[in-house]
A and B are shown apart, each in its own frame.
Chain A
Amino acid sequence: MENPASQTHIQRSERWYACVLSLYPKAHQAVYKQPMLQLFHDLNREAAQRSGMQGLKKIWRRTALDLLISLPVEYLDLIAKGDPMNNRPKLLNIIILTGIPLWLGLVILAVNPHFIGKLFEPSAAQPWGWVMVGAALICCLAAFFVQRKASFMVTPSGAAPVGKKALLVSSTLFLVLPAILLVLLGPAVMLVLLR
């Protein structure tokens, strides 16, 4: 073994995975967080024993791919079946899950010079890309807090006193804003692409 992994590395890796698991829907976490942690612990130990730090890196590459595939699947499952952990309206989940790819698309457009050349490339001279990235981050954070507040304040009967407000704020942050930006950006992108 060229570069052995220390106990600290292994424990750190497992702590990171425990943090990453909180990205999964709460209902999924409630049942599968412990077994998934246990499985990762087993994989981690085996990989570290077999090939040291290289083994840990390999496990993380595999885990990153696994997250990319399984996270959207679990959220789509949540939309299809509803969230058993709280009474948050399905519509709110749909809005947010539609909005995230919209924002991500916008950020990719904003930072990718291949699509829009120098026009919106983030730089000191052309700050549009950074503005977009900042706006996306602020919107995501704001929506996260709205989400938390909404799920706490929903009553057991399912009537949500802040439901309408949460829906309004979420749809503004996740659908209206990116839609406006897309409408504004769309023609510019087309012009640059056709140039």
Chain B
Amino acid sequence: MTASPAPLTPAVLNILLSLADQERHGYGIMQEVQKMTGEQVLMGPGTLYGTLKRMLEAGLIEESEERPDLALDDERRRYYRITPTGRFALAEEIQRMQHLVAAAQAKRIPNPGQP
């Protein structure tokens, strides 16, 4: 059995989640992350592209050559998609979080807003 990988940073987790269903460009990733987190996570361009660079190096994502529709899209945009390694890392992280949630529920930790 291989050792479980280190926990993902919040930025990496959010980006992987945003790419789980389709490939996106930087702005698309940012919008999806904002939507998923209810605007709780607002990444700037520096953080986003720095994280994407390190994720590319780690093989979690890859650049996509495909363009959904060149007529509608800017050629300068770079599209990214999740790799099998990225999908595996994401699944591991979600499982880790599920274990944490189960442990918190077992300890009867209330949800915020609940008495």
Contact = CB atoms under 8 A, between A and B. Distances in A.
Interface of A: 24, 28, 31-32, 34-36, 38-40, 42-43, 62-63, 65-67, 69-71, 73-74, 77
B68 interface: no
A63 B20 CA distance: 27
Interface string B21-34: 00001110010000
Contacts of A70: 44, 46-47, 50
B42 interface: yes
B76 A63 contact: no
Contacts, number: 60
A65 B78 CA distance: 24
Q: Is the interface of A mostly helix, strand, loop or mixed?
A: helix
Contacts of B50: 28, 70, 73-74, 77
Interface in B31-87: 42-50, 53-54, 74, 76-78
5 contacts: A38-B76, A66-B44, A66-B47, A67-B44, A74-B46
Interface residues of B, number: 19
Contacts of A73: 50
B103 to A, nearest CB: 31
A39 B47 contact: no
Contacts of B54: 77
Nearest to A20: B46
Given A28-B50, A35-B25, A66-B44, 15 more contacts: A32-B53, A35-B26, A36-B26, A36-B45, A36-B49, A39-B45, A39-B49, A66-B43, A66-B47, A67-B44, A69-B44, A69-B46, A70-B46, A70-B47, A77-B50
